Structure formats: C-alpha cells, structure tokens
Amino acid sequence: MSRVPIRYGARPCSLVVCRGCCCGDPRKNPGTDHAAQLDRLRAAAAASGGKLAVRTSDCLGPCAQANIVVIQPSTEGRRRGGRAAWIGFSLDDDCLDDILAWTEAGGPGLAPPPATLALQMIDPPKN
C-alpha cells in the first residue's frame, strides 16, 4: 500500500457560493430551493474528509447569471495550472451534480470538467 504524503498548508478544492443580492433570492429565481442547494453543498464538504470546502460570499458581480458558484482549485490543482471556474445559472440539481462530480474528481487542474458544466462557465468580472 502506498502512502499519500500529507502536505501541510495545502488547501482543498473549494466552492464559493454567492449569496448576495440576487444569488439565493427566491424572487429572482423562484424555481430553486436555494437553502437546500447550500445544505447539499455543505453536506458534501462535510463528508469529503477535508477534500472540499464551501463558503458563502456577498455579491460577486455577475448578478444577471445568478446563482453564481466559483470552483477554486486545490493547492495541487493550482500548481498544475488549474484556475478558478465561474459557474453561472447554478440553479438545478443537475448543475450541482456536475459541480460535485468535478470536485470529487479533483477539480480544476486535476480533472476535466463535465461537458455540461463547461457550458455554464462564465468569464469572471473584470475589476
């Protein structure tokens, strides 16, 4: 059995779930159970053994494409060239399935995104 070295200070793949003025607002997207969505992502993080982290954020900018979820690479994923992926219109279970499948596979830099999720990638706002 091979041992996986523990890398202190290494950050896991993480999800930044926008919950600003529009993302998570049932008046903007009434067909989505926004609280259940966040619960599901947090439960996945809790069950990941430290491989996935989830946090919420105030408005990230592209409100017209709410709900926004940003998938940030792990330290190893970033080392291998992975960059944050901005996902727009994250409104249904299929989208969350794809997000969690990708993060389970390693996320940006370590695995290709599901093809259907790639269609939902948006450009990050320019500062």
Structure tokens at 27: 């008046």
Under 8 Å between Cβ of 10 and 76: yes
The reply to whether 20 sits near ligand FES by the rule CB under 6 A is: yes
Binding of residue 124 to ligand FES (CB under 6 A): no
**Which window, 21-29, 46-54, 90-98, 101-109, contacts ligand FES (CB under 6 A)?**
21-29
Does residue 18 bind ligand FES (CB under 6 A)? Answer: yes
Footprint on residues 63-82 left by ligand FES (CB under 6 A): 63, 66, 68
Q: What is the phi/psi pair of residue 83, to 5°?
A: -125, 165
Q: Is-contact 32 92, C-beta < 8 A?
A: yes
Query: Judged by CB, which is closer to ligand FES: 25, or 76?
Result: 25
Token pair recorded at residue 10: 């290494």
For residues 99 and 69, the answer to whether their CB atoms sit within 8 Å is yes
Contact status: 62 vs ligand FES (CB under 6 A): yes
Whichever of 28 and 40 has its CB closer to ligand FES, that residue is 28
**Does residue number 38 form part of the binding site for ligand FES (CB under 6 A)?**
no
CB nearer to ligand FES: give 17 or 45: 17
Rounded-to-integer distance, Cα 123 and Cα 87, Å: 9
Structure tokens belonging to residue 74: 């792990």
Interface ranges with ligand FES (CB under 6 A): 18, 20-23, 59-63, 66, 68
